[in-house]
Amino acid sequence: MSLLPFFQWWDTSWLGEAIRASTWAFALIECFHLIGMVCLLGSVVVIDLRLLGLGMRHQPVARVASALEPVTLVGLGTMVLSGVMLFSSEAIKCYQNAAFPWKMLFLLLGLITWFTVHRHITRLEDDRIGPIRGKLLGSLSLILWFGVALAGRAIAFV
């Protein structure tokens, strides 16, 4: 089954056409996309470094994750909303781009991991997390979210 009709529908949507017709809309939306990425990656890095035992060792993981959760969720929401807008303006380009499926795969796995395992583990007391589980989760999370960012950046070059 080809996804081409789905991509064509997005490409010809009123949103995609409006963004393409504007001289400044794509650049402005991309700025918000990058701001969202900075918020998401910044908070994820702090939490995951704490899970890896590489930062904020005197703060419980649950406290760090709880304090940064609003920043993470705002960043994620901003990225998803602006990402849909950017996608709609260049859906056919994304369909033909080898990096786009990788970005979507990393994003899907990152979201699944974040909203299941990551949120569960980071709400536990430190002694219940354990060093190995914390290191595995922190490493996986960093790989997935930086995979989203790197694959997204590769879209412009592939």
pLDDT of residue 1: 79
* pLDDT of 142 higher than 90: yes
| CA–CA dist 137, 48 (Å, integer) | 8
> Which pLDDT score, from 0 to 100, does residue 77 have?
97
Would you say 122 and 95 are in contact if contact means Cβ atoms under 8 Å apart?
no
Secondary structure (DSSP) of 87-119: HHHSHHHHHT-SHHHHHHHHHHHHHHHIIIIIH
Report percent pLDDT > 90 for the chain. Answer: 91
Distances from the Cα of 152 to the Cα of 34, 55, 87, 105, angstroms: 11, 27, 11, 11
Handedness of CA 128, 133, 134, 138 (dihedral sign): negative
The whole-model pTM stands at: 0.92
Task: Map out the domains of the chain as residue ranges.
Answer: 4-154
pLDDT digits (tens, 9 = 90+) for 81-115: 999 999 999 999 999 999 999 999 999 999 999 99
Is residue 23 scored above 90 in pLDDT?
A: yes
